[in-house]
Amino acid sequence: AQKVTQAQTEISVVEKEDVTLDCVYETRDTTYYLFWYKQPPSGELVFLIRRNSFDEQNEISGRYSWNFQKSTSSFNFTITASQVVDSAVYFCALSEAWETSGSRLTFGEGTQLTVNP
């Protein structure tokens, strides 16, 4: 069965520090997709990124970067030069391709990131 583990429950940093959020996943499927979502204090879930299991190329988007390593089943998320507005709960999620007619996201427990001024 699929599983996503975010071992860091809470992280607190000072503004401008770099911070990495860890995500480890388990799946028996060879084709799968990994996602990161952000949940700010307002409560909505905001889609950040999707990677498929065949694309291990790291991705950078502004201050955000993602490191996908199949060898360690990890999909870590780094925020460079963090800002107060980055304070949120961040969720890593997994979707497996075995479901040929539909899909579901399996979420990790989330990491509460607090960026202090």
Partner 1 sequence: DSGVTQTPKHLITATGQRVTLRCSPRSGDLSVYWYQQSLDQGLQFLIQYYNGEERAKGNILERFSAQQFPDLHSELNLSSLELGDSALYFCASSPRGGLAGDEQYFGPGTRLTVT
User: What residue ranges bind partner 1 (CB under 8 A)?
Assistant: 31-33, 35, 37, 42-47, 50, 52, 91, 95-110
Nearer to partner 1, 24 or 97 (CB): 97
Which of 105, 110, 112 lies closest to 50, judged by CA?
Answer: 105
Q: How far apart are CA 35 and CA 37, in angstroms?
A: 7
CB of 14 to partner 1, least distance (A): 28
The dihedral sign for the CA sequence 85, 51, 55, 111? positive
CB of 18 to partner 1, least distance (A): 26
Nearer to partner 1, 12 or 98 (CB): 98
CB of 92 to partner 1, least distance (A): 11
Nearer to partner 1, 26 or 99 (CB): 99
Contact call for residues 24 and 7 (beta carbons, < 8 A): yes
Nearer to partner 1, 82 or 92 (CB): 92
CB of 52 to partner 1, least distance (A): 6
Which of 95, 96, 58 lies closest to 77, judged by CA?
Answer: 58
Which of 32, 30, 48 lies closest to 40, judged by CA?
Answer: 48
